[in-house]
Amino acid sequence: METSNKEYYSFQVNLQGMISLLSEHLYSNPNTFIRELLQNAVDAIAALRQLDEGLEGEVRIALPDPAEAHPVFSFQDNGIGLREHEIHEFLSVIGESSKRKNAEDARLFIGKFGIGLLSCFVVSEAITIETRSAFDQKGFRWSAFNDGRYHIDPVEALPIGTKVYLTPKKNYVHLFRPENFIPQIRFYGDALPESITVVANGEEKRINPDPPVWLNPEADRDALLQAGRDIFQLTFLDAVPFQTESGECAGVLYILPYKTQFSVKQHHRIYLKRMFLSETDNGLLPSWAFFVKMIVNSNALSATASRESLMQNDLLRGTRKAIGETLKSYLKSIRDIDLQVYLKIIQTHFLHLKAMAAEDDEFLRLILDDLPFETNKGLRSFKNIREQFPVIYYCADYEEFKQVQRIAEFQGVLVLNVAYTFEEELLKKIKGIRKELNIQEMSSAKLLDTFVNISAEEATRYRSFMDKLAGFTRPLHCTVSLKYFEPKDTPAIFTRADEDFAEATIKKLKASNNPFANALGSLQQQPALLNQFCLNMHNELVQNMLTLDDDYMLQAITEVLYVQALLMGKYPVSEKQMQLFNSALHSLLVMGMKNFIQI
């Protein structure tokens, strides 16, 4: 490609366009300048501390006096400062930063993108910076305007460090009032080791007088719980201090005192190099840890340009794994350390713990007996279930559970409702690790197997009755049977055959060399034919039906019982079935009335 005699131009950046872009998208909150100034001050102090280990970092902020004609805000640090060429190179070039020379810089500094200072233009038309480098005797004043112009003047007798001056725009004056500014700076800087002092209305206030309790390795459980109460306004079940090598994290995991939904995101406090970053967990917690609130500082993870979240990289994934391990080993040990706390955790968070146990056999073995399960006989611990019931049935589908629970209850059968996918997984796991237990899936179709069959003699006696009923129910696509079951006041139940059940029936028939097996096999495409309508021999109405010789009435009663069984089983009832019910009922009423009408 021929390029030599072409003329090249440079891109231009429209600073005002850039500022409005950043303020609308990257700096969603106009208070962002507070965080950016604080972070630059902290980075500058960290840079100087490289040369002077004993340096006591100091940040001093003076809020504007609204009584003055031109109120000015200032933000001062005793960090490394800037030389003249650095002012041109870093302060004056958007996207240029002095903090990404090497890997060590990433470890040391929070900033790296070279855009943070621009956030000051959101609240001020101009930025003035007075700075003196630790490597220079001379100081400079940099005056920059939001149209992109700047100039530099020498200034005599400046201390080492940097002082930023802003003149608040009229619509942002409120951001600089103590009642807004002090909570904001405390929000971002409460864990910083540098002293931060705010001067307002002639008064000085240090906003971070004490090192945070949650970072103190000596703090005991009570002190950590008290810190949790102060920070999150909650009395937690427990506080779990932790440290991870990956991501160089330290902090506390607080166990929530109330049940939480799987989808609800918790608010946390995430700090980067002890400066507040975000309230969302940023992927630091494993997906099952919905029951904790976390306060954590990382010295090694990186923030995104918006400075509101963490970069999703291998380091973050490693840190998440380490935090997950910490939480698991805490849960594994708390039973022996404090049984009361352990039981409270189980009671409150058993769903999340089940999700966890489904992924971890060792943990499952440890807590299995204490885990509660919802059953047709109320909430019961697994220990109680396995000790009292020789067969543990479960329904993996809530609709199915609703259908079987009443009848199962009367059969003395215990059925677990394991509607969450992980609960079914968990039961499969339990089957694997506790082979001696008889755990079986239950469906309304299988429930029929638990009913008592009529005797051979009864079968012969009621053959013609059953043939008639089969004729009535054939158009309804279901087979009919007669059995003894509880409760006695239930005349009939309907069960829909699931495909597994259909297959099992065919297998059974094949095993017994039954000639119907092949015919049934071809019906498998229409499993509806295997739906069952089962009449209860214990029921008085059914007993009366057996002696009825009016076929017209028998059909009407059968149809009413059929739709009633659908309704009782909470199966959907179609319009056609409702019509059938109405006309059968109508026939019965007419037949009933005839008995009283004088002809």
Ligand X SMILES: Nc1ncnc2c1ncn2[C@@H]1O[C@H](COP(=O)(O)OP(=O)(O)OP(=O)(O)O)[C@@H](O)[C@H]1O
Does 60 interact with ligand X (rule: CB under 6 A)? no
Residue 421's closest CA among 411, 413, 429? 429
**CA atoms of 510 and 413, how far apart (whole Å):** 29
- Rounded-to-integer distance, Cα 349 and Cα 372, Å: 10
Q: Are 225 and 236 in contact (CB under 8 A)?
A: yes
Span interacting with ligand X, options 17-25, 54-62, 106-114, 183-191, rule CB under 6 A: 106-114
Tell the smallest beta-carbon distance from residue 500 to ligand X (Å): 58
Span interacting with ligand X, options 6-14, 58-66, 110-118, 193-201, rule CB under 6 A: 110-118
We find the least distance from the C-beta atom of residue 124 to ligand X, in angstroms, to be 14
Cis previous bond, 217, omega within 30: no
Strands (E), 447-581: 452-453, 478-484, 492-495, 531-536
Q: Does 124 bind ligand X (CB under 6 A)?
A: no
Q: Of 44 and 198, which has the nearer Cβ to ligand X?
A: 44
153-212 binders of ligand X (CB under 6 A) = 162
114, 286, 491, 527: which one binds ligand X (CB under 6 A): 114
Among 91, 123, 198, 255, binds ligand X (CB under 6 A): 91
Q: Taking the complex as a whole, how short is the minimal distance between the CB of residue 43 and ligand X, in angstroms?
A: 6
Nearer to ligand X, 27 or 389 (CB): 27
Shortest spacing between CB 44 and ligand X, in angstroms: 3
Among 90, 172, 232, 410, binds ligand X (CB under 6 A): 90
Answer for which of 74, 108, 113, 554 binds ligand X (CB under 6 A) is 113
Of the pair 117, 535, the CB lying nearest ligand X is at 117
Q: For residue 82, state whether it binds ligand X (rule: CB under 6 A).
A: yes
Is the Cβ–Cβ distance between 155 and 165 less than 8 Å? no
Q: Which is nearer to ligand X, 272 or 426 (CB)?
A: 272
Q: How far is the CB of 168 from ligand X (least distance, A)?
A: 19
Q: According to CB under 6 A, which one of 29, 62, 106, 112 is a site residue for ligand X? A: 112
Instruction: Work out the burial of residue 373: count CB atoms within 10 Å of its CB; fewer than 13 is exposed, 13-18 middle, 19 or more buried.
Output: buried
Question: Measured from the CB of residue 74, what is the shortest distance to ligand X in angstroms?
Answer: 12
Strands 203-206 and 195-200, by their bridges, are antiparallel
CA distance 485 to 469: 19
Amino acid found at 154? P
CA distances from 310 to 95, 115, 281, 283 (A): 19, 17, 9, 8
61 or 82, CB closer to ligand X? 82
Q: Which is nearer to ligand X, 164 or 367 (CB)?
A: 164
* Both structure tokens of 159: 């201390």
Q: Min. distance of Cβ 417 from ligand X in angstroms?
A: 51
Binding to ligand X in span 10-49, by CB under 6 A = 36, 40-41, 44
Which one of residues 57, 116, 228, 491 is an interface residue with ligand X (CB under 6 A)?
116
Sequence-distant (≥ 6) Cβ neighbours of residue 436 within 8 angstroms: none
Distance in Å, CB of 95 to ligand X, minimum: 8
CA dihedral 18, 19, 20, 23 (to 10 degrees): 120
Other C-beta atoms lying within 10 Å of the C-beta of residue 98: 19
Give the nearest distance from C-beta 371 to ligand X in angstroms.
47
Please compute, for residue 98, the number of CA atoms within 13 A of its CA located in the half-sphere on the CB side: 18
Residue 154 Cβ vs ligand X, minimum distance, rounded to whole Å: 17
The window from 80-88, 261-269, 372-380, 500-508 that contacts ligand X (CB under 6 A) reads 80-88
Burial of 434 (0-12, 13-18, 19+ CB in 10 A): middle
Using rule CB under 6 A, residue 150 touches ligand X: no
In the complex with ligand X, the residue whose CB is nearer, 199 or 585, is: 199
Q: Does 392 bind ligand X (CB under 6 A)?
A: no
CB of 94 to ligand X, least distance (A): 8
Pick from 354, 444, 438, 425: nearest CA to 388 = 438
- Nearer to ligand X by Cβ, of 273 and 386: the residue is 273
The residue among 91 and 497 lying less far from ligand X, judged by its C-beta, is 91
Asked if residue 346 lies in contact with residue 363, where contact means CB atoms within 8 angstroms, the answer is: no
Our CB check for ligand X shows the closer of 51 and 391 to be: 51
Query: What is the C-alpha to C-alpha distance for residues 235 and 232, in angstroms, rounded to an integer?
Result: 9
Nearer to ligand X, 240 or 275 (CB): 275
Nearest to 73 by CA among 164, 9, 206: 164
Confirm or reject binding of residue 132 to ligand X (CB under 6 A).
no
Q: DSSP for 92-137?
A: SSTT--SS-SSHHHHHH-S--SS-GGGGHHHHEEEEEEEEE-TT-S
Q: Is 319 in the site for ligand X (CB under 6 A)?
A: no
355 binds ligand X (CB under 6 A): no
Residue 31 CB, shortest distance to ligand X, in Å, is: 15
Give the residue with the Cβ less far from ligand X, 75 or 394.
75
One-letter amino acid at 310 equals L
Residue from the set 117, 127, 316, 584 that interacts with ligand X by CB under 6 A? 117
Residue number of the CB atom closest to ligand X: 111
Residue closer to ligand X (CB basis): 197 or 326: 197
The position carrying tokens 């215990």 is: 414
Total binding residues toward ligand X, as defined by CB under 6 A: 22
Written as six digits, the tokens of 408 are 């199962």
For 126-141, the DSSP string reads EEEEEEE-TT-S-EEE
Q: For 282, which DSSP code?
A: T
| Residues within the interface to ligand X (CB under 6 A) | 36, 40-41, 44, 77, 79-82, 90-91, 97-99, 111-117, 162
